[in-house]
Structure 1
Amino acid sequence: MGYRPLELVIQSAQGLKYVNHFKKMKPYALVFICDNNNNLISYEAKTVVDKDGGSNLIWNSHVKFNNIDIAKAQQNRHALVVKLKSHHRVRSDKDIGEVRVLITELLEGFGEDAEKHVSKSVVTSDGTVEGTLAFLYKFGRISEHPIADQPSQVQQGLPNNNVASELAGSFASGVTEGSGSVLGEGLVNQGTTTSTSMFVSDQADPYEDDEDEYS
């Protein structure tokens, strides 16, 4: 049945559970595809940290998975997972909650649209719903053979003060479907210009302020 690339813009979240005691949360998202046994079947992408958002935040981060197995997806065996966490420089990062969506649901909701905007409830570790996550997604053309994922080509999200229409326009116009092209006009391959990388490494952030003892 073939493979389809899935492209996403992880846009924003509202009303998240506050997991810090005193200091403002600095949330980020981990984005990946897993099977029905929670085995990771894609690379794991990490968005930038929103240092100013608290429980209401904006990322506008792009990510692409090249190899969505349509046959397995239609058997409800694959899901998109977005885990929300609060960054800590000294202690372990804290879990905020997650969004889990079956790939079949995304396929059924996509139709013929250029891209689809959805909002999903965030489920905390104790099973309660607290907050919402907004994202855009689109599927590319079906290919017979899988294409290697290239996480190094994932790009920097748009600035937080860009309007939603600019985000959607960049998302819709910047991609050659089924290829390894980057999203958005003017975005540069991470391999050549590291300053435009959308995702951050686990190294210490030089702009991160020191963390209080209580957080």
Structure 2
Amino acid sequence: MFDLDGLVRQMEEDGMAAVGFSRLDGRLPSSLAHLPYGITLVFALSSPIVAPVADGPTYPYFQHYRAANAFLDSWTLRAAARLERTGYQAMPIAASQSIPPREEYRGLFPHKTAAVAAGLGWIGKSALLITPQWGPRVRLATVLTDCPLPVTEPPVYPGCGACTVCQDCCPAGAIAGVSFRPGMDRESYYDPDKCSKHMKTYQHIGRGAVCGICMANCPVGKR
């Protein structure tokens, strides 16, 4: 028998900010449809590290970003292994992912989809997951499984309202300032190509791997 409570307790004791569960029927590509349940892992980023990023990415933020991804990836592997040992199928989805064709700027599965379905937040105008507690200052990872999981909470109602802080501060002009609605084309509210090209201007920090300006300036959850 899979000890879900024990797994969550260990994650939280180890520093995980939140863990959510979702049912993802109709939200998965056909190749993953046999794994209809999702475990979302949420790691809250350090406020003292994130705050200076409001003016542009920093090297401490790049290091913290990579360490957070590694922490999440370690736990998705451990969770998937425990599920497999108890007879279920499980697939860990890396915190930072990219699959061909790279010019589409997409991963195997969007963590935000599972996080929203688990009631952990909403998709903001910045195209980031916005959590009530930490705003967008989080990193995410997902485990997909066929283990029946208790869906945590109903979706959180979007709370961006008339705020345009992310749009106003984005140096790439990648954010249209449009509230997300299910079924929208991503490009109608966020341009990943503009974001990626501007991020590459920070070659002195991780060879242009991070930006984070919109994340750091978001007023939701700001400390």
TM-score scaled by length of structure 2: 0.25
Higher strand share: 1
Higher helix share: 2
